[in-house]
Structure 1
Amino acid sequence: MQLKPISQQVVAIVGASSGIGRDTALKFAQRGAKVVVAARSEPGLKSLVEEIQSLGGVAKYVIADVSDFEQVKAIADQTVAEYGQLDTWVHAAATGVIAPFEKITPEEFARVVDVTLMGQVYGAMAALPHLKQTGRGALIHISSMEGRRSLPLQSPYSAAKHGLEGFLDALRVELQHEKWPISVTSILPATINTPFYNKVGTKLGVKPTGVPPYYQPSLVADAILYAAEHPTRDFVVGDAGKILDFIQRISPLLADSLLLAIAFQGQRTNEPKSEDAPNNVFEPITGYDKVEGDFRNLSIPSFLESLDMNPPLKWGALAFAALGIAALVGLWGRNDI
């Protein structure tokens, strides 16, 4: 499957007013792509388009609530009407309520699922006809490591991300069966320093935080741009996410014990915050139309992404590790005789 160079692409980015989506839009534009950005926050979209244009890029914006299919469809339709094609669809919109399950209302749970899962489904529904018309392209969906391993206090968000993983697995194989050269990628970030934790609802009595360590949004944006040119099934961003994924695969009980020890206190700051404080669950809120959140001081580097972006190096490292393990096993066997 061959994808176009980014400089020749038209890219729609949903959930672009802040965080990962905003950084991704800037990087696509800097690489020469024409971009259409979408979100509920018109001030955030306006400032983003102005920033892109000031850098010499080409961008338009569409206001949309992803829980409404017709509004999502309008993003794809207006992209093609403006630029004549759609090559890559990036879907990053999400919301959440960080609270014990028993304190979450049915309406709140449903809303998180509507935005964080159904919004992604609507995005694929809206984009696919245009990608098929183009003849190739990429669907890039921003999932989460919570699609592989749920966190306590985030039951609706984790449920939505697990649902997204199931949806993408099914869709990917259907497209392969129909022989469409359309790449379907799941990007699974670990804890990322975006305004997400400023904007979501919470009933912890304090401002929430992700379980450290944090990683910077640029790592996720770089993975997205890589997937736009290189067909990629899934991409875990952040070394801690890769470690958690490994633990979950070998022993879910061990993962349970780990999260029991760190995830409850690890999602709380010392800053008081009322559950009545403004949040973006049902309506957009102002003041957070930026890439980074408040936790740069907790951010650390991540190193394993370079392996994912360099398959020969990755397989070489795995082969070297396998040979090392085989040698150790052989040595142990001789000593045991």
Structure 2
Amino acid sequence: MQLKPINQQVVAVVGASSGIGRITALKFAMRGAKVVVAARSEQGLKSLVDEIRGNGGEARYVIADVSEFEQIKAIADQTVAEYGRLDSWVHVAATGVISPFEKITPQEFERIVQVNLMGQVYGAMVALPHLKREGRGALIHVSSMQGRRSLPLQSSYCAAKHGLEGFLESLRVELQYEKLPISVTSILPATINTPYYNKVGTKLGVKPTGIPPYYQPELVADAILYAAEHPIRDFIVGDVGRVLDVLQKISPSLVDSLLSVIGIPGQHTGESKSENAPNNIFAPVEGYDHVEGDFSKLAIPSLLDWLDMNPPVKWGAFALAVLGIAVFVSDWHSRNS
């Protein structure tokens, strides 16, 4: 499957007013793609488009709530009306409430599933006809490591992300069966330093935090741009996410035990925050239209992301490691025989 170079693409980025979506749109535009950005915050979208155009890029914006099918359909339709086609659909939009399950209302739980799961489903529904018409393209859905391993205090978010992983697996096989050259990628970030923790609902009595360490949003954007040119099934962003994935496969009960110790206190800061504070569950929250959150001091580099985007180096290093082990074992046998 051959995808277009980014500088020849028309890309829609959904959930682009802040965080991962914002830096992703900026990077696509800097690489020469024509970009359509969407979110609920018109102020955030306007500032983003102004920034892209100020750097010589080309962009338009569409105001949309991803829980409304007709609004998300308008993103795809306006992209094609403006630029004639769609090459990559990048879906980032998400919300959440960090709270013990028994404190979450049915309306909050339903809303988070509607945005985080059904919004992604709607996105694929509206993008696919355009990608099929073009004859190739990429569906890139930002999921989460919480789609592989749930965390306490985030039951609704984790339920939606697990559902998203199931949906993408099903869709991917259907497209393969039809021999359609459309890649379906799940991006699975670990804890990322975005304004997410400023904007989501919380019933902890304090401002919430992800479980450290953090990674910067630029790493996720780099993975998304890689997937737009290189068909890839999934991409875990952040070395800690890879460790968690391995541990979950080996012993879910061990991860249960670890999270029972660090999972709940690890999501509390010392900064008081009322559960009545403004949040973005049902409406956008203004004032956070930037890329990074408040936890830059807790951010660390991720070494394996680069290797995953450079497979020849990755497998060359693996082969050398295997060869080294073989030589060591052979030498050990010769010395002890």
What amino acid sits opposite 1:25 in the alignment? A
CA–CA distance in structure 2, aligned partners of residues 103 and 334 of structure 1: 65
Aligned mates of 2:123, 2:96 — CA distance in 1:
19
Q: Identify the range of structure 1 (324-333 vs 292-301) with the bigger mean alpha-carbon deviation.
A: 324-333
Structure 1: how far apart are the matches of 2:84 and 2:74? 14
Give secondary structure in 1 for the equivalent of 2:278: coil
Instruction: Look up the match of 1:206.
Output: 206
Letter of the structure 1 residue corresponding to residue 128 of structure 2: L
Q: 1:328 to 1:257 in 2, by over 3 A?
A: farther
Alignment of 1:3 with 2:9, yes or no, is no
Report the residue type matching 1:165 in the other structure: E
Corresponding position of 2:164 = 164
Report how far residue 313 of structure 1 moved: 1.5
Change (3 A) 1:276 1:311: same
Change (3 A) 1:327 1:211: farther
Counterpart position of 1:27: 27
- Please say if 1:186 is aligned against 2:186: yes
Q: Does 1:143 find its partner at 2:143? A: yes
Letter in 1 for 2:60: K
The Cα shift of 1:262 comes to 1.2
Aligned residue number for residue 239 of structure 1: 239
Unaligned runs of 5+ in 2: none
CA distance in 1 between counterparts of 2:321 and 2:105 reads: 48
Counterpart for residue 229 of structure 1: 229
Secondary structure of the residue that 2:232 maps to in structure 1? coil
CA–CA separation in structure 2 for the residues paired with 1:304 and 1:17? 28
Distance verdict in 2 for CA 1:204–1:325, change over 3 Å: farther
Q: TM-score, normalised by structure 2?
A: 0.97
Q: Given the superposition, is the C-alpha separation of residues 326 and 58 from structure 1 closer, same or farther in structure 2, using an over 3 Å criterion?
A: same
What is residue 299 of structure 1 aligned with on the other side?
299
- Are 2:137 and 1:126 equivalent residues in the alignment? no
- Using a 3 Å threshold, how does the CA distance of structure 1 residues 317 and 278 change in structure 2: closer, same or farther? same
What is the distance in 2 between the residues matched to 1:336 and 1:268? Answer: 55
- Tell me how far 1:315 sits from its aligned partner: 1.6
Deviations 1:98-121 (A, max 9, x none): 000111111111100000010000
2-structure distance, mates of 1:331, 1:254: 36
Aligned partners of 1:145, 1:322: CA distance in 2, in Å?
29
Q: What is the Cα deviation at residue 316 of structure 1?
A: 2.2
Match of 2:74 in 1: 74
1:84 aligns with 2:84: yes
Residue 306 of structure 1, CA deviation: 1.1
Q: In structure 1, what is the Cα distance between the partners aligned to 2:131 and 2:297?
A: 40
1: distance between equivalents of 2:55 and 2:286?
A: 24
Tell me the distance in 2 between the aligned counterparts of 1:101 and 1:335. 60
1:43 aligns to what? 43
Letter of the 2:114 partner, please give it. Answer: D
Corresponding residue for residue 94 of structure 1: 94
Root-mean-square deviation (CA), in Å?
Answer: 1.6
Q: TM-score, normalised by structure 1?
A: 0.97
1:327: Cα distance to partner? 6.4
Alignment correspondent of 1:62? 62
Deviation at 1:314, TM superposition (A): 1.5
CA distance in 1, matches of 2:331, 2:124: 52
Aligned residue for 2:51, secondary structure, equals: helix
Matched, 1:287 2:287: yes
Assess, with a 3 A threshold, how the Cα gap between structure 1 residues 85 and 100 changes in structure 2: closer, same or farther.
same
CA distance in 1, matches of 2:333, 2:212: 40
Partner of 1:116: 116
Shift of residue 319, structure 1, vs aligned partner? 3.0
The one-letter code matched in structure 1 to 2:158 is S
Offset of residue 324 of structure 1: 5.2
1:80, distance to aligned residue in structure 2 (A): 0.1
1-structure distance, mates of 2:119, 2:332: 53
Residue equivalent to 2:312: 312
Residue type of the alignment partner of 2:67: S
Separation in structure 2 between the aligned mates of residue 133 and residue 72 of structure 1, nearest angstrom = 19
Report the alpha carbon displacement of residue 332 of structure 1 after superposing the two structures with TM: 8.7
Task: State the 1:321 CA deviation.
Answer: 3.8
Partners of 2:219 and 2:94 lie apart in 1 by 18
Shift in Å at residue 317 of structure 1? 2.6
Where structure 1 has 5 or more consecutive residues not aligned to the other structure, the ranges are none
